[in-house]
Amino acid sequence: NAGVMQNPRHLVRRRGQEARLRCSPMKGHSHVYWYRQLPEEGLKFMVYLQKENIIDESGMPKERFSAEFPKEGPSILRIQQVVRGDSAAYFCASSPEATGGFEKKLFFGSGTQLSVL
Amino acid sequence: SQQGEEDPQALSIQEGENATMNCSYKTSINNLQWYRQNSGRGLVHLILIRSNEREKHSGRLRVTLDTSKKSSSLLITASRAADTASYFCATQSGNTPLVFGKGTRLSVIA
Instruction: List beta partners, residue A41.
Output: none
CA dist A18 and A53 (Å) reads 23
pLDDT digits 0-9 by tens, B83-94: 999 999 999 988
**Among residues A49, A95, A57, A97, which one has the least CA distance to residue A73?**
A49
Tell me what the pLDDT averaged over chain B comes to.
93
Burial B12-44 (b: 16+ CB within 10 A, else e): ebeeeeebbbbbbbeeebbbbbbbbbeeebbbe
Task: Name residues whose C-beta falls within 8 Å of residue A72's C-beta, 6 or more positions apart in sequence.
Answer: none
CA dist B32 and B8 (Å) reads 18
In this prediction, residue A103 carries a pLDDT of 75
How big is the A-B interface in CB pairs under 8 Å?
64
The more confident residue out of A3 and A98 is A3
Which of B6, B34, B37, B43 best probes binding to A when mutated, by most A CB atoms within 10 angstroms?
B43
Which of A103, A105, A110, A114 best probes binding to B when mutated, by most B CB atoms within 10 angstroms?
A105
Q: What letter represents residue B47's amino acid?
A: I
In this prediction, residue B70 carries a pLDDT of 95
Using the predicted structure, report yes or no on whether residue A2 has a pLDDT greater than 60: yes
CA dist A16 and A32 (Å) reads 27
Alpha-carbon Rg for chain A, nearest whole angstrom, is 14
User: What are the chain A neighbours of B94 within 8 Å (beta carbons)?
Assistant: 102
In this prediction, residue B1 carries a pLDDT of 45
- For B82, list phi and psi in degrees, rounded to 5: -70, -10
Cβ atoms within 10 Å of B101's Cβ, excluding its own? 24
Does residue B45 belong to the interface with chain A, where contact is any CB pair within 8 Å?
Answer: yes
- For A85, list phi and psi in degrees, rounded to 5: -65, -10
Using the predicted structure, report yes or no on whether residue B79 has a pLDDT greater than 90: yes
Task: Give the residue ranges of DSSP H helices in chain A.
Answer: none
Contact: B102, A101; criterion CB under 8 Å? no
Question: Cβ distance B90 to B101 under 8 Å?
Answer: yes
CA dist B40 and B20 (Å) reads 23
Using the predicted structure, report yes or no on whether residue B77 has a pLDDT greater than 70: yes
CA dist A73 and A51 (Å) reads 10
The DSSP symbol for A86 reads G
CA dist A114 and A109 (Å) reads 15
pLDDT digits 0-9 by tens, A4-59: 999 999 999 999 999 999 999 999 898 999 999 988 788 999 999 998 899 999 99
pLDDT digits 0-9 by tens, B20-32: 999 999 999 999 9
